[in-house]
Chains A and B, each alone.
Chain A
């Protein structure tokens, strides 16, 4: 009886202590619980594979049979004397440049158009963004037909202009142009919207000042708009570069004749990622593919560092 009484007396204090404890736990631990799912998944499916790739790349590793023994840097040594690798690297850079440059300039131009006070602005913006929503597989299959050798629309248009037909798949430069056109078509509108967002936050007084100085709209665009949105331009250039280094689907499916495709009969549009795919999942040489993956990662990482360096330099000059 007495005990029960004492317990009832003590209960509120204990409950209060428990509440305080729970509250403190809530404040301390819950934030970590909130971010935990991301980091757990990221550790298992992000960091671990990357580190494991490094380990595999030091082994003679067959995808099916597993580890065949440590070979040191032999995979890398083989890679750096592999003409197919340099071919893939050259193709990747070529398509990257051919796709990125028009993407950025056309994006700027379209953004300048969208930045005018338009009627039905949403319609134009959505129309411009539409290509980015369509699956890259579907887009590529359509473009592969448009650039068909015999019945493609591109060759038909050339024919109307009196230009002889082009074998878009066989000719290296033509294939690069066609793949670059596919990439450009998908990403120009997206970039344009990013530029538009940046343009809308440019200080209007700068334009008024430019107008006072008698600058034409064209001058104002290059002297006011472009410098003001430079961070965004840098960001898009950087994303396009990192994305372009990993180009896979567009060139892979540009050659419709097979999923085992190696980028044309003579590898004329095989990219680094396609070569990785061929080595890893075509001939199951996981060690070699892992070495390719790491070289690709270093290339991307290098671009990231250069990009960050540029950002920092701009920031130091007070332009960001």
Chain B
């Protein structure tokens, strides 16, 4: 292949203006991106980070900073004062605790239940497998909004108004999670390995525990992270069904902070920072796995 490239190079080099192409021996360096690529990427990352940075800046100023003619762009020294005021204004600990309970439960149960179902769809034979899986795919996109009125009535019948169960139970396992873990099992669990375990007399639950779980651990971790984020960030349904005073999640508490005739922006963006920072830290810690998980899961998306 490289021989072909070299024979054609003289013809092309007259047209090409890229300097790297003129050096025939430096084939790997030829593909190294230039300053422009990095500059563009820096711009993209700056745009990605700026709104969050700005929220922290305003959160660390006193309330008047937002009204200055030039918007504040460097942090001030009022973060602790604002935090104290925030804790006095809304029950931040209650909201954080509730969000943690909801997101934690949803994360664990999605991973467990979706691993079981995903493995069954990927590697087991049972009646109705294909049609049931079509149902999963078809519902992966079904939004909560559509059934929200009856869901509200169902939850009422169960006596769950204003209780965390109302948010947790409908989210215990999603079609997306099942789909995700099926992909993971298709990819990471060899059929032969399952058959070997089965013919050695290993029951299905034991097969899952000893064969499947170790193999799909990375994808399961990413799914757990995604489920946690989705539950932590959910707003529409908690807003409807939870009691903003007794059982607020962080998002509900935040939106309450924003509504009102007079909004203290420093306080509001302190709340935003408090809600966003744990998630961002978690994200940065797991970024490598999340990125590779999305890249891997997406290839046939």
Contacts and interface: CB of A to CB of B under 8 A. Distances in A.
Interface of A: 23, 26-28, 30-32, 34-35, 37-39, 41-42, 44-46, 48-50, 52-53, 56, 63, 110, 113-114, 116-118, 122, 124-131, 133-139, 141-146, 150-153, 156, 185, 189-190, 193-194, 196-198, 200-201, 208, 211-212, 214, 232, 235, 239, 242, 246, 248-249, 253, 256-259, 273, 276-277, 280-281, 286, 289-290, 293-294, 296-297, 300, 304
Contact of B173 (A38, A214, A281): A38
B236 to A, nearest CB: 6
B148 A214 contact: no
Contact of B236 (A114, A143, A248): A248
A205 B185 CA distance: 30
Given A129-B291, A134-B276, 8 more contacts: A28-B126, A31-B126, A46-B142, A118-B33, A145-B66, A194-B298, A200-B295, A304-B138
A145 B269 contact: yes
B60 to A, nearest CB: 14
The 3 closest A-B pairs by CB, nearest first: A49-B147, A126-B287, A52-B150
Contacts of A273: 145, 236
B26 interface: no
B233 A136 contact: yes
A189 B48 contact: yes
Nearest to B204: A30
A235 B31 contact: no
B255 A137 contact: yes
B275 interface: yes
B172 A151 contact: no
A56 B150 contact: yes
B299 interface: yes
A295 B280 CA distance: 37
Contacts of A31: 120, 124-126, 129, 204
Interface of B: 1, 4-5, 8, 12, 15, 31-33, 37-38, 40-41, 44-45, 47-49, 51-52, 54-55, 58, 66-68, 70-71, 113-114, 116-117, 119-121, 124-126, 129, 132, 135-136, 138-139, 141-143, 145-154, 169-170, 172-173, 175, 178, 198, 201, 203-205, 208, 229, 232-233, 235-236, 239-240, 250-251, 254-256, 258-261, 263, 265, 268-269, 272, 275-276, 279-280, 283-284, 287-288, 290-291, 294-296, 298-299, 301
